[in-house]
Structure 1
């Protein structure tokens, strides 16, 4: 897929129409994601773009005006636009960083669960979720250079 150049082209390529009921549900859930992203503007370490990408996806299924807003807002619009314009891919360095972060946080969670006296079910659950998450990110999420 070629790099899309304009917001209108992104909207034309990704926006979809849906039923009125689904539209309301998608807008409500997308708005929750936007609220979480808003928190990230002010709280260090809290992600913003990570919340806006699913919001943009939900808005692409429900409301063109909200979808356009996620692509053009001044805080994270450029990054969300770049994600869509590049064919919904992640840069290789970002994938590596995400996988490293997931691995570190999972290892810490397993350690804390062990210290809490869990007989092993929690650790196994964390390890399974970690493996699925890393596999999905490595194999299913497209990469760009």
Structure 2
């Protein structure tokens, strides 16, 4: 899926994406959004800690609850440009980012499933491709298969549902 149109100003983004919600939801969304912003702030200081990954949910939550905080996330000097680009292009990602996300979901799901299989399914002498040798508590490897299934669903979601930006 390719982007349709680009929005050029913060005001246009706020007009398009900001919605109001009831007071209880607003408080909940602002609270969770502020927690995400604290984690994003840690990412500005701490190398290796993600920044935009925390700022995106914060911006989304602020778009549902507080126009001023939503505007702040879009204009922030540390990660505002990335968020602005995301919203300005209609919530799209560049194709190389989608590829990295897909590879990471696949790698982490495979690693996690193998770890769960080793801990709960393998047993003493079990071999990966010989199910009749598995003697662990989860002898049918349901945990590992569940992890792989959820990973496949995540990959399919990214490939099929997340819009792709034609150029960065």
TM-score, normalised by the number of residues in structure 2? 0.82
Whether 1:5 and 2:8 are equivalent positions in the alignment is yes
Distance 1:41 1:112 in 2: 32
Structure 1 residue aligned with 2:161: 140
Alpha-carbon deviations, 1:21-41, whole Å to 9, x = none? 111111011112112212222
Structure 1 residue aligned with 2:95: 92
1:61 is paired with a residue of what secondary structure?
A: helix
Structure 1 residue aligned with 2:150: 129
Structure 1 residue aligned with 2:50: 47
Distance 2:144 2:42 in 1: 30
Distance 1:44 1:116 in 2: 32
RMSD over aligned CA atoms reads 1.2
| Cα offset, 1:115, TM superposition | 2.0
Count residues in correspondence: 145
2:120 is paired with a residue of what secondary structure?
A: coil
Alpha-carbon deviations, 1:83-125, whole Å to 9, x = none? 0000001111100010001111111112222221332122112
TM-score, normalised by the number of residues in structure 1? 0.94
Distance 1:24 1:111 in 2: 41
Distance 1:107 1:128 in 2: 10
Distance 1:44 1:106 in 2: 24
1:44 is paired with a residue of what secondary structure?
A: coil
1:17 is paired with a residue of what secondary structure?
A: coil
| Cα offset, 1:132, TM superposition | 1.1
Structure 2 residue aligned with 1:79: 82
